[in-house]
Amino acid sequence: MTAGMPKVLSIAGSDPSGGAGVQADIKTFSAHACYGMAVITALTAQNTHGVSLVHAVPPEVVTAQIDAVFADIDVDAVKIGMLANAPIAEAVAESLARAAARHIVFDPVLYSTHGDALSAAGFLRSARARILPLAAVVTPNLPEAAALLDAREARDPQEMAEQARALVARGARATLVKGGHLAGEPVDILFDGSRLHEFRGRRIETRNVHGTGCALSSAIAAQLAKGIELAESVRAAKTYLEGALTQADRLGVGGGSGPPHHFHALWGEPEGSHRRQRE
């Protein structure tokens, strides 16, 4: 880790409603006392109800953003989210390899929380060939893991473990397969290249789950930036996300699936909440 506050870079799309993408990433970095930075790969028009437009940033602009950051700032960790298409994935891979970036967390965003497609055809091929080998850890959910492996979705923790091992065999140094799509209490499986780790949690009853994958992967990156080893980083990130989901309904953002409460451990009761409750 470099001197001063840990510095973490998000490379992802922009969510103007603030629940996902680079906005969620920077909030999460800040909640973990890290200095957050962002390279924009795509502009989206979205809110708590869904995504209506995706506009990919030209690859050369993505490259220029990454190069500008690394030319001046010591980056302790990188979170990669939405890359939108193959040319952007190629540009990101080349730039990060040139910068010798470390502690790269790859969240392979294919769809939004609402099921809207966020990556173009051809992206998966570039992600497998160019991004996976750079990743300290890749954090797919069940559909994303299946897509990366061109396989069916895992149906239980044993199949999740098999897919985690398979993604490491494809080049990632470690894989966290997230099991939130399974019925019952959620379970995530981490394969760190030598050992399997199982993380069990509790399912939080809330509709406000927009951007949970962004928050989890960003929290892992923040922990790695602080020098915390991977399994403990995942454990701490999951504890953080559980708290953010538990407090998500306090925010009152939008009429659909709102975000988790990124600053749940730092903020008190929202201003005016008691007055609204009385009304």
CATH of the domain at 262: 3.40.1190.20
- Tens of pLDDT, residues 2-13: 778 999 999 999
Residue 273: per-residue pLDDT: 52
Residue 81 belongs to some domain of the structure = yes
Task: Please report the pLDDT score of residue 271 as a whole number.
Answer: 61
Q: Is the pLDDT of residue 272 over 90?
A: no
Structure tokens at 130: 């160019």
Residue 1 within a domain: no
Q: How confident is the model at residue 275 (pLDDT cuts 50, 70, 90)?
A: very low
**127 in a structural domain:** yes
**Count of the separate structural domains present in the chain:** 1
pLDDT in tens, 196-224: 999 998 889 999 999 999 999 999 999 99
Mean pLDDT, the chain, whole residue set: 92
**What pLDDT does 48 receive?**
96
Domain assignment present for 188: yes
Mean pLDDT of 251-268: 94
Torsion of CA 25, 76, 62, 12, to 10 degrees: -20
- Span 135-141, average pLDDT: 97
Q: What is the pLDDT of residue 201?
A: 86
| Confidence grade of residue 185 (pLDDT, cut at 50, 70, 90) | confident
Cα radius of gyration rounded to whole Å, the chain = 18
CB contact at 8 A, 83 and 62: no
Residue 196 in any domain: the answer is: yes
pLDDT score, position 2: 74
pLDDT digits (tens, 9 = 90+) for 34-79: 999 999 999 999 999 999 999 999 999 999 999 999 999 999 999 9
Residue indicated by tokens 């497609």 = 117
Among 147-151, 222-226, 266-270, the range with the most confident prediction by mean pLDDT is: 222-226
Q: Is the pLDDT of residue 139 over 70?
A: yes
Question: Is 277's pLDDT higher than 50?
Answer: no
The whole-angstrom separation of Cα 70 and Cα 251 is 35
Those residues with Cβ within 8 angstroms of residue 273's Cβ, 6 or more apart along the chain or in another chain: 250
240: confidence class by pLDDT, cuts 50, 70, 90: very high
- CB 107 within 8 Å of CB 80: yes
Task: Give the pTM.
Answer: 0.93
Of the given ranges (49-58, 70-79, 86-95, 104-113), which has the lowest mean pLDDT? 104-113
In a domain, 85, yes or no: yes
* Any domain includes 86: yes
Percent of the chain with pLDDT over 90: 84
In angstroms, rounded to a whole number, what is the distance separating the alpha carbons of residues 185 and 234? 17
pLDDT at 115 over 60: no
pLDDT interval class at 252 (50, 70, 90): very high
Structural domain of 152: 7-278
Is residue 2 a part of any domain in this protein? no
